[in-house]
Protein backbone atom coordinates (compact mmCIF):
# COMPACT_ATOMS: atom_id res chain seq x y z
CA UNK A 1 0.00 0.00 0.00
CA UNK A 2 1.38 3.41 -0.96
CA UNK A 3 0.12 6.79 0.24
CA UNK A 4 -0.77 7.79 -3.34
CA UNK A 5 -2.46 4.51 -4.33
CA UNK A 6 -5.05 5.17 -7.02
CA UNK A 7 -4.14 8.86 -7.35
CA UNK A 8 -3.66 10.50 -10.73
CA UNK A 9 -0.97 13.20 -10.65
CA UNK A 10 0.18 15.70 -13.27
CA UNK A 11 3.86 16.60 -12.82
CA UNK A 12 5.29 19.60 -14.68
CA UNK A 13 8.95 20.59 -14.86
CA UNK A 14 10.95 17.49 -15.79
CA UNK A 15 13.95 18.52 -17.86
CA UNK A 16 16.80 16.25 -16.73
CA UNK A 17 17.09 13.40 -14.25
CA UNK A 18 18.34 16.01 -11.74
CA UNK A 19 15.04 17.96 -12.00
CA UNK A 20 13.11 18.07 -8.74
CA UNK A 21 10.05 17.06 -10.79
CA UNK A 22 11.77 13.85 -11.97
CA UNK A 23 12.33 12.78 -8.37
CA UNK A 24 8.78 13.76 -7.40
CA UNK A 25 7.41 11.65 -10.27
CA UNK A 26 9.53 8.68 -9.23
CA UNK A 27 8.59 8.92 -5.54
CA UNK A 28 4.92 9.35 -6.46
CA UNK A 29 4.99 6.24 -8.67
CA UNK A 30 6.67 4.31 -5.87
CA UNK A 31 3.76 5.35 -3.64
CA UNK A 32 1.20 4.08 -6.15
CA UNK A 33 0.35 7.15 -8.27
CA UNK A 34 -0.36 7.19 -12.00
CA UNK A 35 1.72 9.99 -13.49
CA UNK A 36 1.32 12.24 -16.52
CA UNK A 37 4.27 14.55 -17.23
CA UNK A 38 4.44 17.84 -19.04
CA UNK A 39 7.61 19.14 -20.66
CA UNK A 40 8.65 22.46 -22.10
CA UNK A 41 10.65 22.97 -25.30
CA UNK A 42 13.05 20.06 -25.37
CA UNK A 43 10.37 17.37 -25.56
CA UNK A 44 12.52 14.62 -27.02
CA UNK A 45 14.93 15.02 -24.09
CA UNK A 46 12.04 14.99 -21.60
CA UNK A 47 10.61 11.82 -23.24
CA UNK A 48 14.01 10.15 -22.99
CA UNK A 49 14.31 11.09 -19.30
CA UNK A 50 10.74 9.85 -18.68
CA UNK A 51 11.89 6.37 -19.79
CA UNK A 52 14.07 6.27 -16.66
CA UNK A 53 11.04 6.33 -14.36
CA UNK A 54 9.82 3.00 -12.93
CA UNK A 55 6.78 3.21 -15.25
CA UNK A 56 7.45 5.53 -18.21
CA UNK A 57 4.54 8.01 -18.24
CA UNK A 58 3.04 9.97 -21.16
CA UNK A 59 4.63 13.39 -21.78
CA UNK A 60 2.50 16.33 -22.92
CA UNK A 61 3.85 19.61 -24.21
CA UNK A 62 3.24 22.62 -21.95
CA UNK A 63 4.68 26.09 -22.22
CA UNK A 64 2.92 27.85 -19.34
CA UNK A 65 3.08 31.15 -21.22
CA UNK A 66 1.26 29.70 -24.27
CA UNK A 67 -2.47 30.37 -23.87
CA UNK A 68 -3.46 27.70 -26.44
CA UNK A 69 -1.43 25.00 -24.70
CA UNK A 70 -2.93 26.01 -21.34
CA UNK A 71 -6.47 26.02 -22.77
CA UNK A 72 -6.10 22.56 -24.33
CA UNK A 73 -4.34 20.96 -21.35
CA UNK A 74 -7.41 19.38 -19.70
CA UNK A 75 -8.50 17.68 -22.95
CA UNK A 76 -4.98 16.42 -23.61
CA UNK A 77 -4.66 15.06 -20.04
CA UNK A 78 -8.07 13.32 -20.43
CA UNK A 79 -6.58 11.18 -23.21
CA UNK A 80 -4.50 9.45 -20.49
CA UNK A 81 -6.37 9.75 -17.16
CA UNK A 82 -10.00 10.59 -16.32
CA UNK A 83 -9.17 13.13 -13.60
CA UNK A 84 -6.38 14.64 -11.50
CA UNK A 85 -5.99 14.16 -7.76
CA UNK A 86 -2.72 16.09 -7.76
CA UNK A 87 -0.88 18.75 -9.76
CA UNK A 88 2.79 19.58 -9.23
CA UNK A 89 4.07 22.98 -10.35
CA UNK A 90 7.86 22.67 -10.65
CA UNK A 91 8.52 25.48 -13.09
CA UNK A 92 10.79 28.48 -12.87
CA UNK A 93 12.89 30.59 -15.17
CA UNK A 94 14.28 34.10 -15.40
CA UNK A 95 16.35 35.80 -18.10
CA UNK A 96 20.04 36.12 -17.19
CA UNK A 97 19.72 39.89 -16.70
CA UNK A 98 17.29 39.22 -13.83
CA UNK A 99 19.85 37.19 -11.85
CA UNK A 100 23.35 37.54 -10.48
CA UNK A 101 23.50 40.98 -8.87
CA UNK A 102 22.06 43.06 -11.73
CA UNK A 103 18.92 43.81 -9.70
CA UNK A 104 19.01 47.60 -10.11
CA UNK A 105 19.35 47.44 -13.88
CA UNK A 106 17.05 44.60 -14.98
CA UNK A 107 14.57 45.90 -17.57
CA UNK A 108 10.83 45.34 -17.08
CA UNK A 109 10.59 42.99 -20.09
CA UNK A 110 12.91 40.55 -18.35
CA UNK A 111 11.23 40.97 -14.96
CA UNK A 112 7.88 40.40 -16.65
CA UNK A 113 9.13 37.19 -18.31
CA UNK A 114 10.35 35.88 -14.94
CA UNK A 115 7.00 36.66 -13.27
CA UNK A 116 4.96 35.15 -16.11
CA UNK A 117 6.85 31.84 -16.07
CA UNK A 118 7.57 31.53 -12.36
CA UNK A 119 4.62 33.23 -10.60
CA UNK A 120 1.51 33.73 -12.75
CA UNK A 121 1.90 30.22 -14.13
CA UNK A 122 0.76 28.70 -10.82
CA UNK A 123 -2.64 30.32 -11.31
CA UNK A 124 -2.68 29.45 -15.03
CA UNK A 125 -1.86 25.79 -14.34
CA UNK A 126 -4.37 25.55 -11.49
CA UNK A 127 -7.19 26.91 -13.68
CA UNK A 128 -6.20 24.65 -16.58
CA UNK A 129 -6.39 21.59 -14.30
CA UNK A 130 -9.48 22.65 -12.32
CA UNK A 131 -12.05 20.88 -14.57
CA UNK A 132 -10.27 17.59 -13.86
CA UNK A 133 -9.85 17.96 -10.09
CA UNK A 134 -12.31 16.37 -7.64
CA UNK A 135 -12.75 17.47 -4.02
CA UNK A 136 -9.72 16.35 -2.00
CA UNK A 137 -7.27 17.09 -4.81
CA UNK A 138 -4.00 18.92 -4.09
CA UNK A 139 -1.75 21.38 -5.89
CA UNK A 140 1.89 21.63 -4.79
CA UNK A 141 4.37 24.24 -6.05
CA UNK A 142 8.13 24.51 -5.60
CA UNK A 143 9.35 27.55 -3.69
CA UNK A 144 12.66 28.99 -2.54
CA UNK A 145 12.20 30.85 0.76
CA UNK A 146 11.29 34.40 -0.26
CA UNK A 147 11.29 35.95 3.21
CA UNK A 148 14.92 37.10 2.73
CA UNK A 149 17.02 38.69 -0.04
CA UNK A 150 19.62 36.15 -1.26
CA UNK A 151 22.92 36.63 -3.10
CA UNK A 152 22.35 36.52 -6.87
CA UNK A 153 18.71 35.35 -6.71
CA UNK A 154 17.43 38.87 -7.42
CA UNK A 155 14.20 39.02 -9.49
CA UNK A 156 13.71 35.28 -9.10
CA UNK A 157 13.40 36.05 -5.36
CA UNK A 158 10.70 38.61 -6.17
CA UNK A 159 8.99 36.01 -8.38
CA UNK A 160 9.06 33.49 -5.51
CA UNK A 161 7.62 36.07 -3.09
CA UNK A 162 4.82 36.51 -5.63
CA UNK A 163 4.43 32.73 -5.88
CA UNK A 164 3.98 32.53 -2.11
CA UNK A 165 1.24 35.16 -2.24
CA UNK A 166 -0.34 33.57 -5.33
CA UNK A 167 -0.55 30.22 -3.52
CA UNK A 168 -2.39 31.85 -0.61
CA UNK A 169 -4.95 33.50 -2.92
CA UNK A 170 -5.42 30.23 -4.81
CA UNK A 171 -5.90 28.45 -1.47
CA UNK A 172 -8.60 30.99 -0.65
CA UNK A 173 -10.42 30.63 -3.97
CA UNK A 174 -10.01 26.87 -4.51
CA UNK A 175 -10.75 25.91 -0.89
CA UNK A 176 -14.52 25.97 -1.57
CA UNK A 177 -13.84 23.42 -4.37
CA UNK A 178 -12.17 21.17 -1.77
CA UNK A 179 -8.76 21.72 -3.39
CA UNK A 180 -5.63 22.33 -1.29
CA UNK A 181 -2.80 24.58 -2.53
CA UNK A 182 0.57 24.40 -0.79
CA UNK A 183 4.19 25.22 -1.50
CA UNK A 184 7.30 23.32 -0.61
CA UNK A 185 10.27 25.62 0.12
CA UNK A 186 13.24 23.49 -0.91
CA UNK A 187 16.84 23.96 0.11
CA UNK A 188 19.29 24.47 -2.77
CA UNK A 189 19.68 21.54 -5.19
CA UNK A 190 22.01 21.11 -8.17
CA UNK A 191 19.67 21.25 -11.17
CA UNK A 192 19.63 23.04 -14.54
CA UNK A 193 17.68 25.94 -12.96
CA UNK A 194 20.32 26.20 -10.23
CA UNK A 195 23.14 26.29 -12.83
CA UNK A 196 21.61 29.43 -14.32
CA UNK A 197 22.01 31.32 -11.02
CA UNK A 198 25.42 33.01 -10.84
CA UNK A 199 27.00 32.43 -7.42
CA UNK A 200 24.77 29.43 -6.63
CA UNK A 201 27.75 27.91 -4.79
CA UNK A 202 27.28 30.58 -2.06
CA UNK A 203 24.16 28.65 -1.05
CA UNK A 204 26.23 25.55 -0.39
CA UNK A 205 28.23 27.49 2.20
CA UNK A 206 25.11 29.10 3.71
CA UNK A 207 23.29 25.78 4.08
CA UNK A 208 26.44 24.14 5.41
CA UNK A 209 26.46 26.69 8.24
CA UNK A 210 22.73 26.97 8.90
CA UNK A 211 20.95 23.66 8.35
CA UNK A 212 20.81 21.89 11.73
CA UNK A 213 19.98 18.60 10.02
CA UNK A 214 22.65 19.13 7.36
CA UNK A 215 21.81 19.48 3.67
CA UNK A 216 22.99 17.54 0.60
CA UNK A 217 22.68 19.67 -2.56
CA UNK A 218 22.86 16.52 -4.69
CA UNK A 219 19.97 14.69 -3.03
CA UNK A 220 16.48 15.74 -4.13
CA UNK A 221 15.00 12.74 -2.27
CA UNK A 222 13.79 14.63 0.83
CA UNK A 223 12.08 17.28 -1.34
CA UNK A 224 10.42 14.58 -3.46
CA UNK A 225 9.11 12.78 -0.37
CA UNK A 226 7.84 16.04 1.15
CA UNK A 227 5.99 16.78 -2.07
CA UNK A 228 4.43 13.29 -2.11
CA UNK A 229 3.28 13.83 1.48
CA UNK A 230 1.60 17.13 0.53
CA UNK A 231 -0.12 15.45 -2.42
CA UNK A 232 -1.41 12.65 -0.19
CA UNK A 233 -4.44 12.46 2.08
CA UNK A 234 -2.16 12.89 5.09
CA UNK A 235 -2.42 16.73 4.95
CA UNK A 236 -6.21 16.90 4.55
CA UNK A 237 -6.73 20.21 6.40
CA UNK A 238 -3.61 22.11 5.26
CA UNK A 239 -3.77 24.76 2.56
CA UNK A 240 -2.07 28.10 1.85
CA UNK A 241 0.95 26.67 3.69
CA UNK A 242 4.67 26.73 2.95
CA UNK A 243 6.43 23.59 4.15
CA UNK A 244 10.21 23.99 4.36
CA UNK A 245 12.25 20.98 3.28
CA UNK A 246 15.65 22.58 3.74
CA UNK A 247 17.38 20.79 6.61
CA UNK A 248 15.92 23.44 8.94
CA UNK A 249 18.05 26.30 7.54
CA UNK A 250 15.10 28.74 7.44
CA UNK A 251 14.77 28.58 11.23
CA UNK A 252 18.35 29.49 12.05
CA UNK A 253 19.93 32.97 11.99
CA UNK A 254 23.59 33.89 11.58
N1 LIG B 1 17.21 23.76 -7.55
C2 LIG B 1 17.00 24.49 -6.47
O3 LIG B 1 17.94 24.83 -5.70
C4 LIG B 1 15.61 24.91 -6.11
C5 LIG B 1 15.33 25.29 -4.77
C6 LIG B 1 14.04 25.68 -4.44
C7 LIG B 1 13.05 25.72 -5.43
N8 LIG B 1 13.36 25.35 -6.71
C9 LIG B 1 12.28 25.40 -7.72
O10 LIG B 1 11.98 24.10 -8.15
C11 LIG B 1 11.36 24.21 -9.44
C12 LIG B 1 12.02 23.21 -10.39
O13 LIG B 1 13.35 23.60 -10.66
P14 LIG B 1 14.56 22.58 -10.69
O15 LIG B 1 15.56 23.07 -9.71
O16 LIG B 1 14.09 21.18 -10.64
O17 LIG B 1 15.25 22.90 -12.11
P18 LIG B 1 14.93 22.36 -13.59
O19 LIG B 1 15.69 23.26 -14.49
O20 LIG B 1 15.18 20.91 -13.66
O21 LIG B 1 13.36 22.62 -13.73
C22 LIG B 1 12.82 23.87 -14.13
C23 LIG B 1 11.72 23.52 -15.10
O24 LIG B 1 11.01 24.71 -15.51
C25 LIG B 1 10.60 24.44 -16.84
N26 LIG B 1 10.17 25.65 -17.55
C27 LIG B 1 10.90 26.77 -17.80
N28 LIG B 1 10.16 27.62 -18.55
C29 LIG B 1 8.95 27.03 -18.75
C30 LIG B 1 7.76 27.39 -19.45
N31 LIG B 1 7.64 28.56 -20.13
N32 LIG B 1 6.71 26.52 -19.44
C33 LIG B 1 6.79 25.34 -18.79
N34 LIG B 1 7.89 24.93 -18.12
C35 LIG B 1 8.95 25.78 -18.12
C36 LIG B 1 11.84 23.82 -17.47
O37 LIG B 1 11.52 23.15 -18.69
C38 LIG B 1 12.25 22.86 -16.37
O39 LIG B 1 11.64 21.59 -16.55
C40 LIG B 1 11.47 25.67 -9.86
O41 LIG B 1 10.28 26.35 -9.52
C42 LIG B 1 12.61 26.17 -8.98
O43 LIG B 1 12.57 27.57 -8.78
C44 LIG B 1 14.60 24.94 -7.06
153 in active site:
yes
Q: How far is CA 189 from the centre of its chain?
A: 13
Given a cut of 90, is residue 81 above it in pLDDT? yes
Point out which residues pair with 242 in neighbouring strands.
183
Q: Which atom of ligand 1 is nearest to the CA of 16?
A: 20
pTM higher than the cut 0.75: yes
Average pLDDT, the chain: 97
Q: Name the active-site residue from 7, 160, 169, 195.
A: 160
pLDDT-above-90 percentage for the chain:
97
Q: What b/e sequence results for 78-93 when a residue is b if at least 16 CB atoms lie within 10 Å of its CB, and e otherwise?
A: eeebeebbbbbbbbbb
90, 24 Cβ separation under 8 angstroms: yes
- Cα-to-centroid distance, 168 and ligand 1 (Å): 20
pLDDT tens digits, one per residue of 145-159: 999 999 999 999 999
Q: Give 220's pLDDT tier (boundaries 50, 70, 90).
A: very high
169 in active site:
no
pLDDT tens digits, one per residue of 171-182: 999 999 999 999
Q: Whose CA is nearest to atom 12 of ligand 1?
A: 90
Compare 195 and 163 and report the one with higher pLDDT.
163
Position 199 scores a pLDDT of 87
Q: How far is CA 212 from the centre of its chain?
A: 24
126, 181 Cβ separation under 8 angstroms: yes
Q: Whose CA is nearest to atom 24 of ligand 1?
A: 91
CA pair distance 48, 74, nearest whole angstrom: 24
pLDDT tens digits, one per residue of 87-126: 999 999 999 999 999 999 999 999 999 999 999 999 999 9
pLDDT tens digits, one per residue of 34-53: 999 999 999 999 999 999 99
Q: Name the active-site residue from 120, 123, 153, 169.
A: 153
Q: Whose CA is nearest to atom 38 of ligand 1?
A: 13
- Cα-to-centroid distance, 226 and ligand 1 (Å): 17
CB-based pocket (< 6 A), ligand 1: 13-16, 19-21, 40, 62-65, 90-93, 117, 142-144, 186, 188-189, 191-194
- Cα-to-centroid distance, 108 and ligand 1 (Å): 21
41: exposed, middle or buried (Cβ count in 10 Å: 0-12, 13-18, 19+)? exposed
- Cα-to-centroid distance, 1 and ligand 1 (Å): 30
**CA angle at residue 18 from 49 to 239, to 5 degrees?**
105
pLDDT tens digits, one per residue of 127-145: 999 999 999 999 999 999 9
Q: Give 252's pLDDT tier (boundaries 50, 70, 90).
A: very high
Given a cut of 80, is residue 254 above it in pLDDT? no
Amino acid sequence: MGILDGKRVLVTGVLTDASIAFHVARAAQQEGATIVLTGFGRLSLVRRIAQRLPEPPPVLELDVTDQEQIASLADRVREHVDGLDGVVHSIGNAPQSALGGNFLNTPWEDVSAALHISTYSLKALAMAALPLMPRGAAIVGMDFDASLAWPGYDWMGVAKAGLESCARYLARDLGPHGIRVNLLAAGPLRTMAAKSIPGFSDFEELWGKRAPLGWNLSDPGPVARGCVALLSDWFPATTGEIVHVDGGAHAIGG
